[in-house]
Structure formats: structure tokens, C-alpha cells
Amino acid sequence: MALALVLAAAATPILSCPGGTIETKCTAAEVTAKIALTRARVTNIAQRCLYDFGGKCSVEASGRINGRDPGTSLLWQKMLLAPRDGPQARMLVLLSQDKAGKAALAGFAESSGSIGTPDLVVDDGKRRLIHVGGTLAGSGGGNADALFVSDAAAPRWRRVDLSDWSEQGGKLLPTGYWLRGPAQFAFDEMFALVPVARDGDGECCPRGGNAFYDLDIQGDRLVLTRLRFQPMQPLGRDIEVTAGTLED
């Protein structure tokens, strides 16, 4: 039930397909084919959308990330996409750029709500990790985070699947408790904190405590390696007071 609120699965359908309408479906490869990597487009990354969307597109922000290797850098662009017939969405495109200035697509991420700026959280000579925070639209407060990894042994950027570990973690909780996002990630320490609700909490405020997860990247997936959880129980009866009704 609430597991769907914790994370946006990597298998989530594309929100903004080429053509600028919500009536069409597409694959990640079809989106990739519409991301322009020409020198002129990259040079104007702060003004012109890299994604040939087909609907209305505006650049919200862009920037550069410099890592340990002075010969390479990462460029990013965050776009607001508005189709002709549906709700708007946001997309972030991440590019890698070599010494000669040639750009290659490192990946992209989408969100129906908000999407943050990319953060180089690990760059230790063995691998690099880029975390993009995000939240889904609506009252559920679900995550739309994205994680990209590049290993020194095979320096190619790839996106990590963030879907499986949350389901596994939810099953490890005691009966009567369930995950209620959003999760807070610290990928530099491979750690996550997720609020936990207990039966009877409804759809408002989780009061079951917090689940602490140790994480690992195995292949292209984020997996749970350890869960720590101390259940919280209510003490006594609920107290409710209306302002202005108390006597001095």
C-alpha cells in the first residue's frame, strides 16, 4: 500500500514523450534520441532546451560539476515541460564532457513534482555517484530521486534502479508497520532514513518511528543490506486543545 509512496520505480513510464502530448507512450531510448548534443546546443545550455520535446519547454537552471579528473566535467540542465493536453513535468539531463568539449549523454531523470540539482556525492577514484533529489506531485510525498554511477574500471555513466530495496525493506518491518515516504538519502554513506507509519495512522502523519537502511549498489540496482528500526508506541491518550479556550 504505502510502498508506492516511498520511491518512484525506475520502471515508471516516461512522463514526457516526444511529440508534446500525454496521449503517446514511449521508451527511454526514444527520449534519448531527442536529446540534442550538438556543440551549438550544449554551448547554449542555459537558454535552450536540450530535449526536443514537442510541447512547451523552458530551461529552469543549468550548471557544471567538476570532479577529481580535471580533463572531464559534467553538465546539467533542468527543464520545465508542458504538454499540449496534460499536467507539466520536470526533466533533468546530465551530460559528460571530455577535454575536447565533446558531450555525451550520461542520463536523464523526470518528476511529476519537483526535481533538484545534481550532486556529486562520491568521487573517490574508484567510482563516482551523482544524486538527483526529487518528489512526486500529489499529497503522498513520494520520492522521484535518481542515482547515476560511473566506475573507474568502466567509466560509463548508468542509472541505478531505486525500486527493489524499498519493497524488501517494507517486508522486514514488524506486522502493523509500513513505510511512509519520502525517504531521505545519504548516498555518500549509502544510507537512507524512511518514516514509518503504524496501523491507525491514516494518510496524515506517520507515528511509528523511523527505519534506517544501509544500502549497496549491486550491478545496476540499489539493494538493502541492513535495517535498523525501533518501533514507537503512543503513550497515554491523545490531548487536543483549541486555542483561546484555556484560562490564565
With cut-offs at 50, 70 and 90, classify the pLDDT of residue 46.
very high
Query: Tell me, what's the pLDDT at 237?
Result: 63
d(CA 145, CA 8): 7
Query: Tell me, what's the pLDDT at 181?
Result: 75
With cut-offs at 50, 70 and 90, classify the pLDDT of residue 205.
confident
Q: Does the structure show a pLDDT above 80 at 233?
A: no
With cut-offs at 50, 70 and 90, classify the pLDDT of residue 185.
very high
CB count within 10 Å of CB 194 equals: 25
Q: Would the CA dihedral through 33, 38, 41, 44 be positive or negative?
A: positive
pTM of the model: 0.85
Instruction: Domain ranges for the chain, please list them.
Output: 3-229
Q: How many CA atoms lie within 13 A of 105 on its CB side?
A: 19
